[in-house]
Amino acid sequence: TFALPGMKSTNVAGFTAKKMIPQGMCTAGAYILISAYDKNGDDESVIYVMSRSSKSYITTIVLPNKTKAGGIAYDSKNKNIWISNGKAVSYIPYDTISKAVTTGDSYTEVAEYSGTYTVPLTASYIGYYNGMLWVGAFHENKTSNAYGYQIGSVDGKPSLTYKNTMSMPSRTRAITFDSEGYLYLTRSSRTKLSMSGY
């Protein structure tokens, strides 16, 4: 086990955010990456970079917008970090993480995503396995579909081609795959009596 960084305060490009809400998590090479957004909506979303071996915090990547960043996945084949971004998925190169760690700075700002691709839902979670990026939406009371996109390359940039759909249970929050292709998911309900699906 390890403590999530940034829960008391997060340095977002020189501004202190005290209400960051952790969202997605993935492993990427030597790192554990955790996405988070500012509950107050004042500051940009971030990715906390942690050492996979020591479980210690290293640095923060400041994203170019205030997306909820509910899902994050590492495409080990093409070396990109994919982030859910409203009704789209966006990516930044893995090199962005490596360079940020090398500088030793407390944060690195990403001026813009390297690419953004529209999807037919609000991307709440994403996962990667064997060349496919899976994207799904949270629904409280019904099953929904996760869409599978084959990751290719066009002129040196990633491309996404829709290939498959799988049915997911209600209240799915996050997914991941193990090395044998088994899918694992987390489900959770609302946290207040005033909200449906409590």
Over residues 177-181, the mean pLDDT reads: 93
- Report field, pTM of the whole predicted structure over 0.85: yes
The candidate with the shortest Cα–Cα distance to 92, out of 77, 106, 74, is 74
Whether the CB-CB separation of 32 and 53 falls below 8 Å is answered with: no
Over residues 1-23, the mean pLDDT reads: 90
Q: What is the pLDDT of residues 73-86, one digit of tens each?
A: 999 988 999 999 99
Whether the CB-CB separation of 115 and 157 falls below 8 Å is answered with: yes
Q: What is the pLDDT of residues 115-148, one digit of tens each?
A: 999 999 999 999 999 999 999 999 988 899 999 9
Strand 57-62 and strand 107-109: pairing?
parallel
Contacts of 195 (CB under 8 A, 6+ apart): none
Task: Determine what percent of the chain is predicted with pLDDT higher than 90.
Answer: 82
Helix (H, G, I), strand (E, B) or coil at 108: strand
Torsion of CA 85, 152, 78, 72, to 10 degrees: 20
What is the band of 195 on the pLDDT scale with cuts at 50, 70, 90? confident
Distances (CA, A) of 45 to 24, 61, 68: 12, 9, 7
